Structure 1
Amino acid sequence: MENIVLVEFPTTYKEYAFRNDIEGIEVGDKVVVDTSGGLAVAEVTKVDVVSNKASKYVVQKIDIEAHEKRIEKANKLIELKAKMEDRLKKLQEIEIYQILAKEDDEMAALLAEYGEIQK
């Protein structure tokens, strides 16, 4: 079922009417609309409006929640990667010290003392 919605663009406070045949559009939704200047993002301010000024359509509702989840997931991956890199560096460092300690008595003594202090 087609109806008319009013939208507001981020750079203006004027409402514009657009035809809409997408189910579930609500006030506050971000949508892509077909304007004379091309596609643009706007926010729905009113739904089921009576207007004869609407000639262009709402193209799509923007799924902000999915986008926020995507960003959250990407940030978590970055955080985990940094923690893994830090842990890898520490483990490599210890492994190198242990290898050197097998060949060098002074390194073995230093490593043993380091281990004792760490306890």
Structure 2
Amino acid sequence: MEIVTLFVIALIGLEHIGIGSFEMFGSPTRQASAFDMPLDFVKQKSAKKALANQGIYNLMLGILILAIILIFTGTNLRLLMMLLMIFVIIVAIFGSLTATRKIIFLQGLPALIGLVLVMLFYA
């Protein structure tokens, strides 16, 4: 089950790389639809900058999640995976309250599943 757990955590890392890339480089039409925002707002220069800024955080978080899997082992890896999944859950809760409810399901639920897997099956 440790391999399955690492696979799920890696998928969460890849998900964040994808989300970050979408926030930074996605078309305004698709961004407006994904984030439940008006298209006119998403096309504004300041909104584009804000989405790109948010995107770089998600991109770096995804890279960090993948990097810890490659660099750390044992207890250190377990603690880092738990910590990062807790961070993702907290951010997903905040995002679902301030942006769109979809975030809790798209980011928070996978992180919760990852956290449970780490706690139960990763030694």
Q: TM-score range by the shorter chain?
A: under 0.3
Superposition TM-score, scaled by structure 2 size: 0.24
Greater relative contact order (Cα < 8 A, sep 6+): 2
User: Could you state the TM-score of these two structures normalised by the residue count of structure 1?
Assistant: 0.24
Choose between structure 1 and 2: higher strand proportion.
1
More helix by share: 2
Q: For the pair shown, which has the larger CA radius of gyration, 1 or 2?
A: 1
